[in-house]
Structure 1
């Protein structure tokens, strides 16, 4: 059984993941409105991944006899000056998410809740990847800064990103 503290923290994380999804959807729509369909695609895939992260946590909470409590999603920013600014905001946001995941892992460790600790390892590793991906995109945007052809090529590259659902983690309780 989950401690009340971990139960509440997991619910907070579920809602944070849904907010993250909303943020990335907003970035996707802003990029698409500016004709940057590849960058829009990259953020749309990110949107879907964040929804999956929430679902994984929901499934876990339900499997531990918890209750999922969804809250209203707060408004997100809707416009960015450039793809570079989008990816800088992405890195900043992912660092905040990393802190939240680390707090969850700390609570699970304090509770000696080894099942939750084990589940959260996937999220800890995922956050390393999320931050690295954002840093790579920042570097790419900085490399093409002011170069319209470079931005065109980067946009084409990001259009190739595909969505790979975390099916084995999501399928339980669906």
Structure 2
């Protein structure tokens, strides 16, 4: 049986993952409203990925006899001037999620919750990839600027992202 404190924190992580998805969907809408459909596609793929992450925690709780408690999702507030602003927010958000995953891992170690530790190993690796991807796109945006052919080429490249 899963311990109550662990269950509560896993439920909080489920909410955080679904909230992340909602944020990415709002970012997709921002890009698509600016006719940057490739960036929008990339964000939609992130939205789907975050939903899958939330469901991994959801399924983990159920398999362990825990109780899933779905919490509300807040409306994302998007204030950005350009794509660089958005990707700075993406990177900041991914770093926030990484800290949450690390804290959850610390709790799993403290409570001797080996199954959760095993699940979180996957998430720890995933967060390295998430931060790396966001940072790479951000650095490329800073390099090429916000206008012209280079932005168009990056937009086309991001439109090629497949589900992983």
Task: Give the shorter-chain TM-score range.
Answer: over 0.9
Secondary structure class of the residue paired with 1:18: helix
Separation in structure 1 between the aligned mates of residue 111 and residue 84 of structure 2, nearest angstrom: 41
- CA deviations on 1:101-124 (whole Å, 9 max, x unpaired) are 001100110011111111110011
Tell me whether 1:162 sits opposite 2:141 in the alignment. no
Q: Does structure 1 residue 13 correspond to structure 2 residue 17?
A: no
- Give secondary structure in 2 for the equivalent of 1:5: helix
Separation (CA, whole Å) in 2 of partners of 1:141 and 1:62: 42
How far residue 146 of structure 1 moved from its aligned partner, in angstroms, is: 4.2
Extract unaligned runs of 5+ from structure 1: 165-174
What does 1:47-62 align with in structure 2 at a 5 Å threshold?
47-62=47-62
The structural deviation recorded for 1:148 is 1.2
2:45 — aligned with what? Answer: 45
What TM-score comes out, normalization by structure 1 length? 0.92
Match of 2:33 in 1: 33
Paired residue total:
164
* 8 Å contact from structure 2 (residues 17, 54) kept in 1: yes
Structure-1 separation of matches of 2:162 and 2:146 = 27
1:163 is paired with a residue of what secondary structure? coil
The offset of 1:33, in angstroms, is 0.7
Structure 2: 5+ residue runs without aligned partners? none
Q: 1:26–1:76: 8 Å Cα contact kept in structure 2?
A: yes
Cα deviation code 1:37-58 (max 9, x no counterpart): 0000000000000000000110
| 2:124 counterpart of 1:124 | yes
Could you tell me how far apart the structure 2 residues matched to 1:150 and 1:20 are? 28
In the alignment, the residues of structure 1 paired with residue 86 and residue 75 of structure 2 have an alpha-carbon distance, to the nearest angstrom, of 16
CA distance in 2, matches of 1:140, 1:43: 16
* Offset from partner CA, 1:112-169 (integer Å, 9 cap, x none): 11111111100111000000001001111011114411111110110000112xxxxx
CA-atom RMSD in angstroms: 0.9
In the TM superposition, residue 72 of structure 1 has moved relative to its aligned partner by 1.2
